[in-house]
Structure 1
Amino acid sequence: MTTTGLGSVPGDDIREWMRAVLELVDIPFLPELPARPYGDMLSRTVAVLTELAADLQPVGWRLTGGGDARASLDQRRARALLHEDLDVLEEYADGYQGQLKVQVTGPWTLAASVERPRGDKVLADHGARRDLAQALAYGVQQHVAEVRKRVPGAEVLLQVDEPGLPAVLAGAVPTASGWSKHRSVDGPGAVELLSLFTGTAPTIVHCCAARPPIEVFTKSGASGVAVDVSLLNTAAWDQIAAAAEGGTAVYAGVVPTTGALPRAEQAAEPLVRRWRDLGLDPELLKMAVITPACGLAAAGSTADARARLKLLRDVADVVAEAADA
């Protein structure tokens, strides 16, 4: 069985974390350190937007126009930080061969978070959110190509983070005034924009929710879905089962990001029990990728986060043994 992390980690030392992810998990990933200025997932994603300019306002990122020439000081700083992190990746992953994961905020979460030049979220404008998604898809293609160039032996995986998509589908994203909500997006519309990303590299869509829209992810062409096992309701498990039987990889978030560190058997139990209750093939369980429940930025310390990543290997062993039982 395989292990990986979901992106964010605590602290501000990218070199320490690059060494750690190459050591502790089977699928290393480019760490996100949101404790650093411009190190959060939205700033990281704005950094790859080469076709659109944005600046950072007190309420968050706002689009300002098109092209690199109009990029604000904040956007240029975000790009510089990403470039520095890629330099570290290239240095520490020299000679590496195998899967390597990068993360980016998905088009729907980005549209629900970033403002248009004249105010309100990009989500409010059908044309604007399509333009944003297309610009992001182009930027992601360049980003993945850059990682492949820097680490030639890597099979790059793309993780698309969509924590905001359930609210987008439900029409639960507030407007700027706070008095109403943006209109909901239907499933086919959500699939259409997500599909712009799944041809760039093998793609995992990550969403920590009680009922992540698994069917949207699989119809968009995602090769994997990443979920927080502790949150999933019965309907979500039914969709997970259908996805797994259809060949989609399940990235099972089983190690909590905060609180007491569980024993490996405790962390593995909910996944193993649900798999058996659903009557799923144990061989499919062996293909699951074991991850933390979500990003580890909220972990108490770097040492705590490292311990949680280290535990993944023990959990994977327990799950594999249960699948063989």
Structure 2
Amino acid sequence: MALLASSRLSRWRRVPDFPWAAGAATGIGSLPGVDIAEAQRIVLGELPALPHLPELPERGPGADVIGRTAGFLVDLPVQVYTGRWQIAARPGKDMRVTADLLERDLDQLTEQADGYTGPLKIQAAGPWTLAASLDLPIGGRMLRDPGAVRDLTDSLAEGLRRHVENVRKRVPGATVLLQLDEPSLPTVLAGRVPTESGLGAYREVDGPDAATALRTVVEAVGAPVIVHCCAPDLPWQVIRDSRATAVAFDLSLLTDLDPLGEAVEAGLGIFVGAVPTRPSSGARPEAKQIAERVSTLWKRLGFPAARLPEQVVITPACGLAGAPYPYVRALLKACTEAGRRISEV
């Protein structure tokens, strides 16, 4: 590791400034409960350097990540059929519910973030997770049809471009960042997404094709994009080839430092999921331990210490929808304090 660190130090080059403040912390997206006003107060209060638009999936279909993202699609209406989201012939009740939930959330954001200046993160499912989750009208996932995946990707790219513009108008002082949630990406690449019968799996998608779809969205939205994947076997090269600004991952699942080091060296922002999403034996998250965990990782990678607070953002390991609210508050507060600690080193 000493030789590796020395090599990286010698090849280090200055990368462009990142669209967040040094020592920033943020959430991944989901929070518990059904009260969007309270959720936004917590996020804006506990994550002042990089707040995000919280998602509350406990409100039901249309508030979940797949339903909400499907609501952004242009000219591809959706519906809930037998408990799953499916492409529909025309817009109906489920799309109205989805749009209404989003509008309420954005109205709250407009009110509570009035006067806010700085980075603001919004989230949506990425094209591959959406393709692996949405059903075709004739049955089967959209993933089975490459042409349908291309149409889905183009529709999503345009819908998210409009969403980014809408958020900018509502919070004109904000620098909007878009997080694409891709928990299904590793299984899509490996050909492990099961068919409806459970007896087979859909075809593998090769890395260049996966990167091309992600890049279509990245280049269309007109905002810095973070690709988030809190699953094992994170496809680092695909994310780098997508031209995303940053990658978000669960640190506890990291088994090989080399791909991470190469991503850092290439100038990718690093959102480190350094805090468990559930309390362990009643233990509260400690900012000092979080900061030490992230600092130790950085030292092992062998990059200049001064770059740590600039290139790294501290986050929970994943979404917090199932966590108790006292833990959520303590966790987000600890992430913010840990960010301050690493920026003071």
TM-score normalized with structure 2 length = 0.88
2:249 aligned partner: 227
The Cα of 1:39 is off from its aligned counterpart by 1.3
Per-residue CA distance 1:221-249 (angstroms, 9 max, x = gap): 10000011111111xx2111111111111
Give unmatched runs, 5+ long, in structure 1: none
The one-letter code sitting in structure 1 at the alignment partner of 2:339 is A
Compute the RMSD of aligned alpha carbons.
Answer: 1.3
Give the Cα–Cα distance (whole angstroms) in 1 for the partners of residues 121 and 336 of structure 2.
Answer: 18
The one-letter code sitting in structure 2 at the alignment partner of 1:166 is P
2:275 aligned partner: 255
Give the Cα–Cα distance (whole angstroms) in 2 for the partners of residues 125 and 222 of structure 1.
Answer: 25
Q: Is the 8 A contact 2:189 2:204 kept in 1?
A: yes
1:241 aligned partner: 261
Asked if residue 296 in structure 1 is aligned to residue 313 in structure 2, the reply is no
The one-letter code sitting in structure 1 at the alignment partner of 2:286 is R
1:18 aligned partner: 40
Give the secondary-structure state (helix, strand or coil) at the position aligned to 1:196: helix
The Cα of 1:45 is off from its aligned counterpart by 0.5
The Cα of 1:263 is off from its aligned counterpart by 2.1
Give the Cα–Cα distance (whole angstroms) in 2 for the partners of residues 264 and 153 of structure 1.
Answer: 29
Higher relative contact order (CA 8 A, sep 6+): 2
1:215 aligned partner: 237
Give the Cα–Cα distance (whole angstroms) in 1 for the partners of residues 237 and 174 of structure 2.
Answer: 29
Give the Cα–Cα distance (whole angstroms) in 1 for the partners of residues 304 and 205 of structure 2.
Answer: 34
1:148 aligned partner: 168
Q: Is the 8 A contact 2:123 2:181 kept in 1?
A: yes
Q: Is the 8 A contact 1:230 1:270 kept in 2?
A: no
* Partner of residue 35 from structure 1, selected from 44, 48, 58: 58
The one-letter code sitting in structure 1 at the alignment partner of 2:276 is P
Give the Cα–Cα distance (whole angstroms) in 2 for the partners of residues 140 and 153 of structure 1.
Answer: 19
Asked if residue 179 in structure 1 is aligned to residue 179 in structure 2, the reply is no
User: Which segment drifts farther, 246-255 or 101-110?
Assistant: 246-255
The one-letter code sitting in structure 1 at the alignment partner of 2:101 is L
Give the Cα–Cα distance (whole angstroms) in 1 for the partners of residues 212 and 272 of structure 2.
Answer: 25
Q: Is the 8 A contact 2:186 2:232 kept in 1?
A: no
Give the Cα–Cα distance (whole angstroms) in 2 for the partners of residues 119 and 179 of structure 1.
Answer: 15
Give the Cα–Cα distance (whole angstroms) in 2 for the partners of residues 51 and 280 of structure 1.
Answer: 46
2:72 aligned partner: 48
Per-residue CA distance 1:25-67 (angstroms, 9 max, x = gap): 11111110011122111111112113211110224100023xx
Give the Cα–Cα distance (whole angstroms) in 1 for the partners of residues 276 and 293 of structure 2.
Answer: 12
The Cα of 1:20 is off from its aligned counterpart by 1.5
TM-score normalized with structure 1 length = 0.94
Per-residue CA distance 1:259-310 (angstroms, 9 max, x = gap): 232322332333322222222222222221011111111212x222111111
Q: Is the 8 A contact 1:229 1:270 kept in 2?
A: no
The one-letter code sitting in structure 2 at the alignment partner of 1:12 is V
Give the Cα–Cα distance (whole angstroms) in 1 for the partners of residues 68 and 334 of structure 2.
Answer: 27
Give the Cα–Cα distance (whole angstroms) in 2 for the partners of residues 23 and 318 of structure 1.
Answer: 18
The Cα of 1:149 is off from its aligned counterpart by 0.9
1:166 aligned partner: 186
Give unmatched runs, 5+ long, in structure 2: 1-22
Give the secondary-structure state (helix, strand or coil) at the position aligned to 1:195: helix
* Partner of residue 71 from structure 1, selected from 73, 91, 107: 91
Give the secondary-structure state (helix, strand or coil) at the position aligned to 1:198: helix
Asked if residue 122 in structure 1 is aligned to residue 142 in structure 2, the reply is yes
The Cα of 1:209 is off from its aligned counterpart by 2.2
1:264 aligned partner: 287
Q: Is the 8 A contact 1:115 1:121 kept in 2?
A: yes
2:328 aligned partner: 305
The Cα of 1:24 is off from its aligned counterpart by 0.9
The one-letter code sitting in structure 1 at the alignment partner of 2:216 is L
The Cα of 1:211 is off from its aligned counterpart by 2.4
The Cα of 1:78 is off from its aligned counterpart by 0.5
Give the secondary-structure state (helix, strand or coil) at the position aligned to 2:77: strand
Give the Cα–Cα distance (whole angstroms) in 2 for the partners of residues 28 and 197 of structure 1.
Answer: 22
The Cα of 1:169 is off from its aligned counterpart by 0.4
Matched residues, percent identical?
A: 47
* Partner of residue 202 from structure 1, selected from 212, 219, 224: 224
Asked if residue 189 in structure 1 is aligned to residue 228 in structure 2, the reply is no
Per-residue CA distance 1:113-167 (angstroms, 9 max, x = gap): 0100100000000000111111111110111111011111111000000000000
The Cα of 1:184 is off from its aligned counterpart by 0.5
